[in-house]
Amino acid sequence: MRFSLYVFLVLALSVSFPSLFGQTRVTPRAAEPREFDFYNRGPWRATIPRPATVLGYEPGSFHTTYGNYEKVLRAMAEKSDRLRTFELGKTPEYRTLYLHAVSSPANLARLEEIRTHHRRLADPRVRLSDAERDSLIAKTPLIVWFSYAIHGDESAAFEAGMHVLYQLLASEDAAITEALERVVVLINPCQNPDGHERFVAWYNTHGIGRPEPFAWEKENHWNVSGRYNHFYFDLNRDMIALSQVESQTAAAAFREWRPQVVADHHGETPSYFFPPAALPINHNLPRADYERWLDTFGRGNARAFDRYGWMYFVRDTFDVFYPGYWDSWPSLHGATGMTYETEGGGHRGFRDRRDDETEVTLRESIAMHVTASLATLETAAEHRVRRLQDFRQFFVDALRDGASGAVRRYVFPPAADPGRMARFLDILNRNGIEIERTTAPIAVTESFDYFGNAPIKRDFPVGTVVVDLAQPQGRVAKALLELESPQDAEFLLRQEEKRQRNEKRGKKAPKDEYEFYDFTAWSLPLAFGVDAYWTAESAAWPTEKLTGVWKPESPAAPAEANTAYVFTPETEGGYRLALALLNDGYRVAAATRPLRAAGRTFPRGTFVVRVDRNARSLHAQVAALAKSIGVTVTPLDTAYTDEGITGVGSGAVVSLQRPQIALLVGSPTRPTSYGTLRAVLEKIYGLDFVPVSVAALRTMRLGDFSSVILPDGSASGYAESLGEEGVAKLKAWVEQGGTLIAVGGAAEFVAGKDVELTTATIVGRDEETEETDGEAKGVETTAPVSPTAGEAAHPARATDGGELVAGSTGVPSTPKDSTGKPPVKPLPVPGAILRAQVDRFHFLSFGIEQDSLPLLVEGDTFFTASKTGTNVLTFETPDPATPLRVAGFVWKDNTEILLRGTAALIEEPLGDGHVVLFANEPGQRLIWHATTPLLINAVLYGPAINHIATGY
Ligand SMILES: [Zn+2]
């Protein structure tokens, strides 16, 4: 029926329109055969070589390496007048990141002018009458951005990018040539070339095209898994932190071009997915417009797919809530951002068998992406005028809403850690958010903090940073800076209904999966631990614009000291300086008690570098490093203290050693946990380490290391791979002075009954054992052993197990609180911010100057407090009536009840060493900086501070 209607439309409308701007419809193509053919959109320009001609194989029969892709690109570029290629930068493995602009030769000749038009449309402070706006729009092509294979192992997406480029350059099909007169297509052919290459090198070696799901070629091995980039970051979560070069360069290009339509191509789902999107949708987006456009593009794609009778689904799974994806992030910048998912390729290989014995092939999966891209282009061209009008309106409304909303300004007084503040402001800067700084003190009558306290009058000094939401980028500013983003009530109600149904079901009955896709809270000020407030006040303040990259003023280099140099761990720079000096062979010590020197009291953990214990070159080195890192160093000319019992000569000042760190890599670690811990050590603190496998850990000489870090991973995987012998070896090494640091699932393993490295246990675990009667664990919420297990249910953006709330592993049976009994087993928390109490008298909390810390909590593994060690972070509030929740989703009558009193960070003394358990990832996704000092304290102070209480 649909086919007949389509033929009718073709007959009715097949008049060739001249391709002038302002017309709303492009020429429909003639009806196509039902069988897809990569070459049925001709006639073709013979001068542009087909990819197959250059490569030697047809689409989908082999994986294209990045180098071969570049050969195809060069061959096509040489002969094309529709292409301009820009180099965005280099990946960590020195591959070139490209952006291709494809359009009519006439448009390419005026790209700069087109970009100027878009900049004018996106700035509502450039006043335009309706007539002026319409005249600007009449001469401005739409900008459509296609990106492919941000997850490098989603191979159909990568191949599709190349074939879309070929079709746009070579086809003389009127639908394409006319669309290119109305649209500039930007193609990001692969946002993750390093991950792509890792995957295809392996697959091309072993792939023989077997459809069996258990065939060797379908195994996604840890070390060749291409989902992540070189540093094992998931780039489709990185648009909040913008921590990776691939994200930074793409964001910069995006900001320069300001596209109106974005399609981000992934794989592999049960059938093809395109929007309308699932709930929840970020509340900062203009809901009605956004949904109307998703529907428009969805219907356009559906028409194209229905021609072939292809399967697809909409409105399921892929939400637009967390702002770190390549659909939500562009949408907050005024585009219609969309995620497209194809069925096959990737870990499903060249061929994969479905449950009805039919097969999905890589070729067909590429074909679907190509079809969706081209349908999107045609829909965009058809709706060019309306889409540009709405683009303009997005910024007009953003300015209006920012000036009239409940929150007008975010206020950040001068930071305790200027280095971290600079990184925080850098993220805002990369989003194009306008930032101001006060030039005189201001008083804010009603200022709110981030912890739910009543508003009070506060004074802010000169140099306070202000983000005013009455700006064109107000929506993205609010999405990143607000305390929390509410989720759709309809969505939340559905989750609660699922919970109630699940609670009524028997322990063996399958449970409804919850639909939280990712973290439900990410507030950047909390994550960075910067002092932050907001207000509705709109009175004029004395401010100046901060432009360009903000760099903190470097403190003056210290004068030459007679006795010692002193500096604190209150800033990341302080640690960097101490570690750099240790690296260079200087002797650095630390005060285990508050230190009195130079007429003031320095906090616990303060670094002391003594002149008479070091080489004569010390002064020059301290002065140079303090300047380059930006650390205030106090020189001392005497060891005499004016008061108190702890001076630089005190026995309470202990010697530090250069940390020798082994960081576990490979199975059973979660790749992104390894990546995050690595980034924290290397990038934030300048610490080196040796990556080691479990096999190496079992055989190497542990005595060479002061710390071993076990990243998050499967607890049962740790137990299996380390074995009793491995555990015994680690235990003996800790007893001799080693510091063992375990994160997430590794901490769960350490707290396991057979390991006995802590007296902490897992909340509700006994209940679980009873309920499951020793069955396979159904509540493994930390990572599965395979880095991509769990992606079957949510493959596209699927995280790595632990980050999914109710992933494919099922939902644990819940406490019987519907019958009035108190809950005993935690329900999985989908990444929410909760407050923890800090024990400030322990070496793990050195440098932390507040009594409570906001923590990102995820999963359902809560640790009871240790009876034998120190619970450095506990989920408590001084007043029990104050909720633990700061932001994000928690389960009513479950999370707060079961979490209260549990520990988020435990230090367990063992012999001369320590076992340190982090319930949650410190430094999560490089968004969460407030907790990274806790990790560095473990590796830096742990080996030096044994059998010493630091509570004096
Ligand atoms: Zn993906």
DSSP calls for 344-392? SSGGG-SEEE-TTS-EEEHHHHHHHHHHHHHHHHHHHHHTHHHHHHHHH
Neighbours of ion ligand 1 (CB under 5 A): 151, 154, 266, 796
Predicted pLDDT of residue 272: 98
CB atoms within 10 A of CB 405: 13
**Ligand 1 centre from 345 Cα, in Å?**
12
Single-letter amino acid code for the residue at 166: Y
- Cα 138 vs. chain centroid, distance in angstroms? 38
Distance 315 CA to ligand 1 centre (A): 17
Ligand 1 centroid to 164 CA: how many Å? 18
The parts of the chain modelled with pLDDT lower than 70 are: 1-33, 767-820, 951-952
Whose CA is closest to 771, among 500, 508, 498? 508
Distance, CA 515 to ligand 1 centroid (Å)?
18
Burial class (CB in 10 A: 0-12, 13-18, 19+), 556: exposed
**Is the distance from CB of 261 to CB of 290 less than 8 angstroms?**
no
How many Å lie between the centroid of ligand 1 and the Cα of residue 751?
A: 34
Q: Tell me how many degrees the CA angle 826-831-834 measures, rounded to the nearest 5.
A: 75
Specify whether the CB–CB gap between 120 and 395 falls below 8 A: no
Q: How many angstroms separate the Cα of 682 from the Cα of each of 226, 679, 685?
A: 22, 5, 6
Can you give the pLDDT at residue 806?
32
Q: Are 759 and 869 in contact (CB under 8 A)?
A: yes
Cβ atoms within 10 Å of 136's Cβ, excluding its own: 18
Measured in whole angstroms, how far is the alpha carbon of residue 100 from the centre of its chain? 25
Distance 798 CA to ligand 1 centre (A): 7
pLDDT of residue 768: 55
pTM recorded for the entire structure: 0.92
DSSP state of 762: B
Distance 793 CA to ligand 1 centre (A): 12
Q: Which amino acid is at 864?
A: T
Task: Look up tokens 């235990």; give the residue.
Answer: 731
Q: How far apart are CA 425 and CA 548, in angstroms?
A: 10
C-alpha 539 to ligand 1 mean position (Å): 45
Question: What DSSP character marks residue 703?
Answer: G
In whole angstroms, give the CA distance from residue 207 to residue 224: 14
- Ligand 1 centroid distance, CA of 478 (Å): 26
Query: What would the two tokens of residue 280 be?
Result: 């929840």
For residue 777, give both structure tokens: 């664990």
What is the Å distance from ligand 1's center to 150 Cα? 6
Question: What is the structure's pLDDT at 767?
Answer: 65
Give the pairing of strands 634-636 and 564-567: antiparallel
Distance 122 CA to ligand 1 centre (A): 29
Q: How far is the CA of 175 from the centre of ligand 1 (A)?
A: 29
Cα(305) to centroid of ligand 1, in Å? 21
Q: What span, in angstroms and rounded, lies between the C-alpha atoms of 50 and 53?
A: 5
Helix count and strand count (H, E) for the chain = 27, 34
Say how many Å lie between the CA of residue 273 and the centre of ligand 1. 12
**Dist. CA 340 → ligand 1 center (Å):** 9
Task: Supply the DSSP symbol for 22.
Answer: T
> Can you tell me the distance from the alpha carbon of 367 to that of 365, in angstroms, rounded to the nearest whole number?
5
605 alpha carbon to ligand 1 midpoint, in Å? Answer: 43
Give the model's pLDDT for residue 769.
52
Instruction: Report pLDDT digits (tens) over 73-93.
Output: 999 999 999 999 999 999 999
Ordered alpha helix ranges (H), 759-894? 765-772
Q: H helices of 405-440, where?
A: 418-430
Residues 6 or more apart whose Cβ sits within 8 Å of residue 857? 829, 831, 832, 833, 834, 899, 904, 919, 920
CA of 774 from ligand 1 middle (Å) equals: 35
Distance from residue 811's CA to the centre of ligand 1 (Å): 23
Residues in contact with 423: Cβ distance below 8 Å, sequence separation at least 6, in sequence order: 528, 929
Residue in 853, 895, 858 with CA at minimum distance from that of residue 873: 853
Cα distance between residue 181 and residue 417, in whole Å = 51
338 C-alpha vs ligand 1 centroid, how far in Å? 12
> 265 C-alpha to center of ligand 1: Å?
7
pLDDT at 949 (0 to 100):
73
Cα distances (Å, whole numbers) of residue 7 to 14, 29, 31, 193, 307: 10, 10, 6, 41, 11
Q: What is the pLDDT of residue 778?
A: 34
Q: Running DSSP on this structure, what letter comes out for residue 62?
A: S
Locus of tokens 């082999």:
62
Q: What are phi and psi of 101, to 5 degrees?
A: -100, 120
For tokens 């070729």, what's the residue?
A: 363
Instruction: Give the C-alpha separation, 126 to 122, whole Å.
Output: 9
* pLDDT number for residue 795: 40
Task: For residue 681, report the distance from its CA to the centre of ligand 1, in Å.
Answer: 27
**Distance, CA 267 to ligand 1 centroid (Å)?**
6
